[in-house]
Structure 1
Amino acid sequence: MALTLYWYPNCSTCKKAKKWLDDHHLTYKLVHLVEETPSADELSTLIQHSELPPKKFFNTSGKVYREENMKDKLKDATIEQMVTYLASNGMLIKRPIVTDGNKVTVGFKEDEFEHTWLSNN
């Protein structure tokens, strides 16, 4: 199962997720969230497959989120608007995101990774 790891190399949580994938010998492709920000279509697909609310894809602790006043913008935003915001700046995207094309995890929790990425191998 080839995975895609959307990450930001300076992010400590991303480094932990990458190490976890390496430690479990899982194959993945790295995508730099800022240099290769996913398109609106890619983000829509990730959100659909994750079964999470779109707001879970926002990096709420990030500087850009605060500077852009995203908390207020998201209150009445449609899913399409949220996806457009995310696609406009990779620093708005919560990281890491891991997908196999069907399943998606957002953030890094070891138990969630074990359940999602090891149980079906």
Structure 2
Amino acid sequence: MSVGLRVYSYAACSTCRKALRWLQEQGLDAEVIDITLHPPSLEELRLALAQLERRRLFNTSGVSYRALGSAVVKAMDDEAALAALASDGKLIKRPFLISATGNVLTGFDPQQWQTLLRPEAPAAP
């Protein structure tokens, strides 16, 4: 069953691999995009910012984030933060999912993904 999903992921990310495996187990097809080669667009990142706290967009444990520095990131206004994210996919918390309805999730929490993508199915234990 396809639900028009886009998942930005990174092949070397174990969390991304778990998320993609979960999608496959659920029978959900997704367009998988390498976040390091093709980060989400500014429009997609603005959509995410409207739904999530800004800090949830950043991969705070990544090399790119550490190189930039948390103080610099905190000092940025939203537009500067979005521009930084759009220019370096490794700054973005992954996986980065956009549903067909425009809902955005970052990271992989099976219960959140279940609620968004399979609301009719019983929640996994």
Matches within 5 A, 1:49-64: 51-64=51-64
Q: Which residue of 2 aligns with 1:116?
A: 116
User: TM (normalized to structure 1)?
Assistant: 0.90
Q: Secondary structure at the match of 2:8?
A: strand
Taking every aligned residue pair, what percent have the same amino acid on both sides? 32
Conserved 8 A contact 1:58-1:94 = yes
Give distance in 1, aligned partners of 2:89 and 2:7.
Answer: 14
- Shift of residue 65, structure 1, vs aligned partner: 0.6
- Shift of residue 84, structure 1, vs aligned partner: 0.7
1:11 to 10, 13, 16: 13
1:43 aligns with 2:45: yes
Give distance in 2, aligned partners of 1:94 and 1:66.
Answer: 13
Give distance in 1, aligned partners of 2:97 and 2:40.
Answer: 13
Supply the AA of the counterpart residue of 2:63. K
1:29 aligns with 2:31: yes
Instruction: Show structure 2 runs of 5+ residues with no match.
Output: none
Instruction: Show structure 1 runs of 5+ residues with no match.
Output: none
Q: Which residue of 2 aligns with 1:89?
A: 88
Conserved 8 A contact 1:2-1:100 = yes
Conserved 8 A contact 1:2-1:26 = no
- Shift of residue 46, structure 1, vs aligned partner: 2.8
- Shift of residue 120, structure 1, vs aligned partner: 5.4
CA distances 1:46-81 after superposition (whole Å, capped 9, x unpaired): 322xx1112211000001111111x10122321111
User: TM (normalized to structure 2)?
Assistant: 0.87
- Shift of residue 44, structure 1, vs aligned partner: 1.1
Aligned residues: 118
Give distance in 2, aligned partners of 1:116 and 1:44.
Answer: 19
Supply the AA of the counterpart residue of 1:33. I
Across the aligned residues of Structure 1 and Structure 2, the Cα RMSD in angstroms comes to 1.4
